Structure 1
Amino acid sequence: MASFRFASPALLLLLAGCVSGPDHVPPEMPLPAKFSEGGAKNIGDVSTAAWWTAYRDTRLNGLVVDGLNENLTVQQALERINAAAGGVTVAGAGSLPSLLVGASHTTSGSMGERRTASGATNISGGEANVSWLLDLFGQYRRSKESAQASLDAAYSSADVAKLTYLQDLVNSYIDLRFFQERLALSRANLKSRKETYQLTQFQLEAGAASRLDVVQAEGLVQSTQAEIPGLETNIRVAAHHIATLLGQPAGSLLGELLKAAPQPIFRGGIASGIPADLIRNRPDIRVAERNLAAATANIGVAISQLYPTITLSGSISPTYVKPAGFSGGSLTTWSFGPTLTLPIFDGGQLRANVDIAKSDAKTQYLAWKQTVLTAVEEVENALSAVRRDAQTVEALRAQVKTTQETLELSTASYKDGASSLLDVLDAQRQVSLAQASLAASIQQMAKDYVSLNVAIGGGYNPGAPRTTAPPKAS
């Protein structure tokens, strides 16, 4: 039978290898093999896909690149990575030995008529304290696991911030160009309606039109003029927001962005991948999974606190005393020994902490599951929209052409006296409505393409080497 003297170290090593609580296992959930309107091939890594270049707008490309480096929200998210990295160090420090060293020197004496000694006494001393809490049940190892998972979540949160920035910037740029298009249309319509108004005045002087016709034509001119200030304001608001997204004062890009340019229209294929790709590509899903990993590790931390702890500690304190007029002498004291702490009565607090940690882990799992389902929904919605937007745009282009032809015919008929001014004014309204609807549908088509690419988690790390070649667009 082995003696306790040899069994104790073996038992200590065995306990040192124990880790309390469950190990984290990446969560899974059943997902469909493909999106309802998508292909059946996976899309690989899309984090490096610069999808905004499909608009073929060099100004937009430059804004995206500049903003990824200058956006203040992204910079805040990156700074939180540094704090999380420090948390890993703090969490792991508790399981390592600590050493505190100090030194002191004092001079003492007495003054006055009744003093019994002369001179001063010098006392020099030092102290070294060492302690090591043996992590028998893995409390600090689990704490470090939790902190490491939080660090991973911080990295993915920075990717989420980049995706949010991309969506906000590109959508704001699309809005800017949309309002510029609407402004150009309104100015063109204003010119046409002023011509109609002048024509009506000539007709009135010739006795071929009534005062009512003139007032109606003038009213349409005034309503068109009223649209322009609001559109100009919207253009400036969009430009201001773009500048803010780039970390610049709101008015700094006005001169550059007020130069009109065509509305963005993406030219390229539509690639969505499969639902399983989202778990790898969506940074918000990774954040949720890492939060679950941290919560799972915290269960182990809470369970380990139910068990005893052993701390090895020691100290040494050398002291040197030198009275005035005498030779000095030294004294060294030291101590060493283990300390056992065993929780016995705590009113149920420690076990309640375990229940709280388990509940938090369950909550994080449900949050992960909800994030995955929301991601699938967002891709499905974006796919449905993108695959139908072109049909809407094509139909509205045809409508604009038809209404313009109707306006030409009604204007010619009015000049010949074969129709009323009301027909011309109504045709002008229909042209304006059709043109505005076309511009809005182009705007929506461009935004739906943004939504699709953000929904699949694409583009937050442009310029990095692609880890997996993407398949052809489905």
Structure 2
Amino acid sequence: MKPLRLACGIGLPLLLSACALTPPPSGVEAVTPSQWQAPTPGAAETANAASLPHHGTLTDLSQWWQQQNDPLLVELIDAAQAASPTVADAVSRIEQSRANSVSADAALLPKLDGTITSSRTNMQPPLPLSTITQAELQPSWEADLFGGNRDTSRAALARLRGAQANWHDARVSVAAEVANRYYSLRTCNKLVTVTQEDADSREETARLSDLSAKAGFQAPATAALARASAAEARGRLTQQYASCDLDVKALVQLTAMDEATLRNKMAASTPPPTQPIVIDSLPARVLLQRPDVFIAEQEVAAASAEVGNAQAARYPRLTLSGSIGAARYHSAGVTTDLQTWSIGPITLSLPLFDGGARAANVDASEARYDSAVSAYRGTVRQAVREVEEALVNLQSTSSRSKDARAAVEGYRAAYEGAESLYRNGMANLLDLEDSRRLRLASELNAVTLERERMSAWISLYRAAGGGWRNPDAGRTASATAIRPTSSDSE
């Protein structure tokens, strides 16, 4: 009768384990637009520029920095990624997540502990002193009847995968930040050149105006206006130099490079023409290349597994332990060797009353799951927005570039004409200064527009995932996925 009861006691949780626990799905859908609303920049828009095909592929995008043919830019990005505390923190998180994953996997396996004990006993006379030495192996194992430990292992693995993607995301962010600051410095140096030329021109006008005023050909007020214009140009030039210095300081902080070395490298390096990427198509599945989307997806999977673990905690637990060992007993000159072993106890733990704590843990884990799903969908929407914004900025800067060049040429020709008339006494200084301001504004706008366009390219690089390769991109079916669209199937 007793063996029957024991068998029933052990078999009961096994029968209960057949009752399926139903944690929420580890994957959810996130709807993306069937096509981008903003136009993608194609080859026609950059026909006059040296361009690099991208076609929405990962390989070309990941090699974009190398394809810029700017060794200094690549060197600065590599230095920044090596020195970045953000990247170092991401590496640390990978190690922590890997350790957690190993620990979670270990819970599924039997455990084996070893003990060695020795004691000396003094009993009452006439019993002699005795020494007992014992070595023992103690195995134990918990039967994962309801999958709670497996769910913990799955959650740890999902977070490890997310931490690995976060490392890529950190590297992409650092690369984009360095590139933005690098192009900002290059643009600043161009603006220095433009501002220097303007300042030199105004200085020359002021010199000629002073000579003319001293000779009595111009009023002193005209000469004063020319001097004021020259002073304004010098102030603008000083401000521009300061702006470039700030960019240098920022690059020094990002790359941990000595400032003198960085300045020498910048001075010795001749920046090649910018190399925009030609994108004939950018399918919506490009969002799967984004590390942050993958991280949010893995967090949904981890939260689902944690719901399963919390549900399993409400059911019985079955553990089995035992021991095998050897002992030596020495007393009154007599030594006795013993061998011991045991199987058991077999422990069945039944949760009877906990004041609702386990049920509350299930509710809390389900709430965290709902939050992870909401965050995932929000991340996808944010990704769509960033791609759309980058495409809008690219389209805008592309459309404005031709007009900006035409404006520079027109205002430059108008200024040269006004300057010629002024030198021949056929125009006043006010007309010349108006033409000069218009020319300077157009040149500054053209240089700034070039910088804005490069910033838009970098934004698209980040929005498209920066060339990171989703480890699940080749799987046949994804539990958590962006819903396929008509443009993706083409």
| Cα displacement string for residues 249-283 of structure 1 (whole angstroms, at most 9, x for unaligned residues) | 555422112457458633441345122331x2111
Q: Which residue of 2 aligns with 1:134?
A: 143
Q: Which of 105, 110, 124 is the aligned partner of 1:97? A: 110
Deviates more, 1:17-26 or 1:167-176: 17-26
Distance in 2 separating the partners of 1:84 and 1:18: 32
After superposition, the Cα gap between the structure-2 partners of 1:54 and 1:208, relative to the gap in structure 1 and judged at 3 Å, is farther
**Is 1:235 aligned to 2:244, yes or no?**
yes
Q: Which residue of 1 aligns with 2:290?
A: 282
Q: Following TM superposition, by how much is the alpha carbon of 1:377 offset from its aligned partner in structure 2, in angstroms? A: 1.1
Distance in 2 separating the partners of 1:20 and 1:242: 54
Name the SS of the counterpart of 2:328 in structure 1: strand
Number of residue pairs the alignment of both structures matches: 458
After superposition, the Cα gap between the structure-2 partners of 1:13 and 1:348, relative to the gap in structure 1 and judged at 3 Å, is closer
Q: Which residue of 1 aligns with 2:420?
A: 412
After superposition, the Cα gap between the structure-2 partners of 1:250 and 1:77, relative to the gap in structure 1 and judged at 3 Å, is farther
What letter matches 1:46 in structure 2?
L
Q: Which residue of 2 aligns with 1:33?
A: 34
Distance in 2 separating the partners of 1:333 and 1:10: 28
What letter matches 2:439 in structure 1?
V
**Is 1:22 aligned to 2:30, yes or no?**
no
Q: Which of 311, 328, 336 is the aligned partner of 2:335? A: 328
Q: Which residue of 1 aligns with 2:407?
A: 399
Unmatched tracts of structure 1, length 5 or more: none
Distance in 1 separating the partners of 2:317 and 2:270: 70
Name the SS of the counterpart of 2:334 in structure 1: coil
Name the SS of the counterpart of 1:328 in structure 2: strand
CA contact (8 A) 2:13 2:316 kept: no
After superposition, the Cα gap between the structure-2 partners of 1:288 and 1:228, relative to the gap in structure 1 and judged at 3 Å, is same
Superposed CA RMSD in Å reads 3.4
CA contact (8 A) 1:177 1:261 kept: no
CA contact (8 A) 1:186 1:228 kept: yes
Distance in 1 separating the partners of 2:447 and 2:219: 35
Distance in 2 separating the partners of 1:269 and 1:142: 45
What letter matches 2:97 in structure 1?
A
Name the SS of the counterpart of 1:33 in structure 2: coil
Q: Which residue of 2 aligns with 1:125?
A: 134
Q: What are the equivalent positions in structure 2 for 1:279-428 lying under 5 Å apart? A: 280-316=288-324, 318-323=326-331, 326-330=333-337, 335=342, 336-428=344-436
CA contact (8 A) 1:19 1:139 kept: no
CA contact (8 A) 1:21 1:300 kept: yes
What letter matches 1:209 in structure 2?
Q
- Provide the TM-score with structure 2 as the length reference: 0.83
Unmatched tracts of structure 2, length 5 or more: 43-53, 475-486
What letter matches 1:81 in structure 2?
I
Identity %: 26
Distance in 2 separating the partners of 1:167 and 1:401: 33
CA contact (8 A) 2:290 2:468 kept: no
Q: Which residue of 1 aligns with 2:58?
A: 46
Name the SS of the counterpart of 2:112 in structure 1: strand
CA contact (8 A) 2:418 2:432 kept: yes
Q: Which residue of 1 aligns with 2:99?
A: 86
